[in-house]
């Protein structure tokens, strides 16, 4: 019997060791939890200080705040302490980007490439935090569209045509994606109109883009009138250049007649603009081009038309 008792005493020890192990595990877990909570409080306090400054920051100052957010996020194990700062940054990025976007709707926008870039950078950071926000993604793609458009127009002016074509094609894709993400938003179609008319010199698609913007609530003004007038003037110039390549052929007269009609439409649109200071130079260019074109038509109708001099275009379009 003594052996049995000893055996029982011997088997009662392991449970006590397991109990001590559980206590140590619980203690370690508690220390870890307290450490995490302390870290959350610490990170949250620092994030709150930055969040308090966000509402007064301008676009060029948001980058530093977003960098601080990224630093805090790496230390935020539960991703809770930085939530308030993230919301503040998204809201401020949206407000400031909307100001840039609204500026482009003005009849004489003052927004430039640097502002589009700053808006794009802020929105790109915001989309990382809120990837399912379709309005944010649409605004981001819209800003990217303008950056591609500006680059494409600049390369075209330097006669870097293949590079310009790539940028302008990217601009069209970005604007169309923005329109897809926000179906009732007219702004992407304003970007498309500008890209088609001045960048790709496709007046028909540019005019259609303006109609699409109007269907979505946009009211066209003198800026859009001037854009269309510029488009018709460029069409006239292009037809005249083509006519020179067809000199002596039956198609020459058709091109010259179409050029004259394009110049007349351009003049009609230019003359409907109340502020002639915006279009005075273009009116003179178009009027001279129309006079030369009508003289060419008269020469083509006279005996010996095959020897008639070719007509020169009025000049390049002026972006505004």
- H helices, E strands: number in the chain: 12, 0
295 and 274 housed in the same domain? yes
93 and 151 housed in the same domain? no
Check residues 309 and 234 and name the one with the higher pLDDT.
234
- Domain limit, last residue, from 82, 108, 126: 126
Give the C-alpha distances (Å, rounded to integers) separating 274 from 140, 269, 277.
Answer: 35, 11, 9
Domain membership flag for residue 12: no
117 and 29 housed in the same domain? yes
pLDDT tens-place string over residues 176-207: 999 999 999 999 999 999 999 999 999 999 99
Percent of the chain with pLDDT over 90: 69
23 and 122 housed in the same domain? yes
Give the C-alpha distances (Å, rounded to integers) separating 14 from 6, 7, 8, 22.
Answer: 15, 13, 12, 12
pLDDT of amino acid 278: 78
Domain membership flag for residue 259: yes
pLDDT of amino acid 186: 98
Does position 297 have pLDDT exceeding 60, yes or no?
yes
Domain membership flag for residue 315: yes
Does position 84 have pLDDT exceeding 50, yes or no?
yes
Phi first, then psi, for residue 101 (nearest 5°) are -65, -40
Domain membership flag for residue 81: yes
- Domain limit, last residue, from 94, 126, 158: 126
122 and 25 housed in the same domain? yes
pLDDT tens-place string over residues 18-67: 677 676 566 555 555 545 555 566 566 778 888 899 999 999 999 999 99
Name the 3-class secondary structure at 162: helix
Q: Which residues contact 215 (CB under 8 A, 6 or more apart)?
A: none
User: Rounded CA gap, 111 and 139, in Å?
Assistant: 15
Q: What residue has token string 């007349």?
A: 264
pLDDT of amino acid 181: 98
Stretch 234-252: mean pLDDT, rounded?
Answer: 93
- Domain limit, last residue, from 176, 207, 238: 207
48 and 144 housed in the same domain? no
Does position 289 have pLDDT exceeding 50, yes or no?
yes
188 and 236 housed in the same domain? no
179 and 238 housed in the same domain? no
pLDDT of amino acid 239: 96
Domain membership flag for residue 215: no
230 and 317 housed in the same domain? yes
- Write out the residue range of the structural domain in which residue 49 sits: 19-126
Give yes or no for a contact between 286 and 266, defined as CB atoms under 8 angstroms apart. yes
Number of domains in the chain: 3
Backbone torsion region of residue 98, taken as left when φ is above 0, otherwise alpha when ψ lies between -120 and 50, otherwise beta? alpha
User: Rounded CA gap, 261 and 79, in Å?
Assistant: 65
Domain membership flag for residue 42: yes
Q: Mean pLDDT of all residues in the chain?
A: 86
Domain membership flag for residue 2: no
pLDDT of amino acid 307: 46
**Residue 103, both tokens:** 């500026």
Domain membership flag for residue 1: no
120 and 150 housed in the same domain? no
Question: Which one, of 124, 58, 130, lies nearest residue 96 by Cα?
Answer: 58
47 and 101 housed in the same domain? yes
Least confident of 180-184, 197-201, 261-265, 298-302: 298-302
pLDDT of amino acid 320: 40
62 and 105 housed in the same domain? yes
């Amino acid at each position: 019997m003594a052996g049995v008792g000893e055996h029982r005493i011997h088997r009662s020890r392991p449970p006590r060791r397991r109990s001590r192990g559980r206590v140590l595990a619980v203690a370690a877990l508690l220390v870890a939890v307290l450490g995490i909570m302390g870290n959350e409080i610490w990170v949250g306090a620092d994030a709150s200080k930055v969040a308090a400054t966000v509402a007064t920051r301008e676009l060029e100052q948001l980058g530093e705040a977003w960098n601080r957010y990224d630093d805090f996020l790496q230390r935020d194990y539960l991703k809770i302490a930085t939530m308030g700062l993230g919301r503040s940054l998204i809201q401020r990025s949206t407000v400031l980007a909307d100001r840039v976007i609204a500026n482009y709707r003005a009849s004489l926008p003052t927004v430039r490439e640097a502002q589009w870039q700053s808006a794009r950078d802020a929105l790109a950071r915001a989309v990382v935090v809120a990837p399912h926000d379709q309005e944010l993604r649409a605004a981001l793609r819209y800003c990217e569209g303008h950056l591609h458009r500006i680059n494409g127009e600049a390369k075209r002016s330097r006669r870097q045509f293949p590079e310009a074509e790539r940028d302008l094609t990217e601009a069209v894709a970005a604007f169309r994606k923005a329109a897809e993400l926000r179906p009732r938003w007219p702004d992407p179609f304003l970007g498309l109109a500008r890209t088609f008319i001045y960048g790709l010199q496709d007046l028909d698609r540019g005019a259609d883009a303006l109609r699409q913007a109007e269907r979505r609530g946009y009211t066209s003004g003198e800026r859009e009138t001037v854009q269309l007038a510029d488009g018709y003037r460029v069409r006239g110039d292009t037809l005249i250049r083509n006519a020179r390549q067809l000199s002596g052929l039956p198609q020459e007269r058709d091109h010259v007649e179409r050029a004259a009609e394009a110049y007349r439409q351009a003049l009609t649109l230019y003359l409907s603009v109340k502020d002639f200071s915006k279009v005075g130079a273009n009116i003179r260019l178009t009027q001279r081009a129309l006079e030369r074109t009508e003289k060419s038509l008269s020469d083509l109708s006279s005996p010996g038309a095959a020897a008639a001099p070719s007509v020169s275009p009025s000049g390049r379009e002026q972006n505004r």
